[in-house]
Amino acid sequence: MMTASPTLILLPGWAMAPSSLMALAAELKAQLPGWVIDCPPLPATSDDTLEIWLDDLDARLPEHAWLAGWSLGGMLAMALAERRRGRCPGVITLGSNLSFVTRHDWRCALPPATLATFQGRWESAPERTRSRFFALVARGSASYSSMIRYLEAHAAPMRAEQALAGLSLLAHIDLQARPIPGHCPRLHLFAELDALVPSHAGEAIHERHPDSSTVRQLADTGHAFPLEHPEQCARLMATFIKQSGTGDAHEH
C-alpha cells in the first residue's frame, strides 16, 4: 500500500486504544504540516506469534511510512521496520525496549516474574489485573491519579484471549536478533522514572547501534510520558524526522 503524503504511524501500547495517543498525534500534526499522522489499533488476534502480528500490520499500514509506537507499539514498529527494510524511512520508539523482560544477554528490562504474575492473574481477575498494570504505567507521572483515570478511559476493549496473547508476546519478543538496517534512522525516547522499561535501556541500545540510533531521556516522568508530555515528545520526534533528511522519502 503506497501513501501520497509523508506519513507517520503511531502504534499504541498493550491494552491501550489508539485514542490514547490522540493528543500526541495532534501535536505532531502541528509540528509536521502536510503530514498524515495515523493511529491504528494493534492487531486484534489471539495468536502470540510475532510474525502474525507483523503480517497484520504490514498489510494494513502504508509502505514508506515512518513507524513509531509506544511500549509494545514501539517494539512492533522496530520489528516491522526490520522486515520492510528499504520500505521504511525511519523508526521512533517511546518507552520501548529490545526485550520487555530480562534475558541472559539483556539485563535492562522488567523481571520475567513480574510479567508472569500479570499473565497468571488475568484469567481470574482481568479488570483488577489491568488496573495493577496501569498503576505501573502511571508511576512517575506528575499527577498519578489523573493518569490512572486517563488510562482507564482509553483502555482498548479486548477479549481475554487477545489480552493474554499480547502479554505472551511481551514475554517472548526479543528484538536483539532483528537489527534494523543501518541506513534507517532511529530515535528512542525513554523516561527517567519508567517502572516498566528502565531508562538505562537507552544507553544499552545506543551502545549496540551508535551510528544509527539517537537516544533521548525525559526527566521526571514515567512510562506514560507520551500521554503526559505530548508537546515535548512531538517536538523531539518532528525535529528528528526533519534532521534525518528522510522525511519526504515516502514514494519510491
H or E stretch at 30? helix 22-31
- Report yes or no on 82 lying in a domain: yes
Report yes or no on 48 lying in a domain.
Answer: yes
* Residue 146 within a domain: yes
- Expressed as residue numbers, the domain containing 116 is 7-244
In a domain, 187, yes or no: yes
How many CA atoms lie within 13 Å of 71's alpha carbon, on the beta-carbon side? Answer: 30
CATH of the domain at 16: 3.40.50.1820
Does residue 218 lie within any of the structural domains? Answer: yes
- SS3 at position 100: coil
Spell out the residues 6+ positions from residue 183 whose beta carbon is closer than 8 angstroms to its own.
Answer: 212
Contact present, 252 and 47 (Cβ < 8 Å): no
pTM (two decimals) = 0.95
Q: How far apart are the first and last CA of the chain?
A: 12
Point out which residues pair with 186 in neighbouring strands. 91, 213
Q: Is residue 250 part of a domain?
A: no
Cβ-proximal residues to 80 (8 Å cutoff; 6+ apart), any chain: 54, 57, 58, 61, 67, 88
The answer to whether residue 80 sits within a structural domain is yes
H helix or E strand, kind and range, residue 76:
helix 72-84
pLDDT tens, per residue, the chain with 252 residues? 454 789 999 999 999 999 999 999 999 999 999 999 999 999 999 999 999 999 999 999 999 999 999 999 999 999 999 999 889 999 999 999 999 999 999 999 999 999 999 999 998 899 999 999 999 999 999 999 999 999 999 999 999 999 999 999 999 999 998 877 778 999 999 999 999 999 999 999 999 888 888 999 999 999 999 999 999 999 999 999 999 975 543 433
Number of domains in the chain: 1
Residue 155 falls inside a structural domain: yes
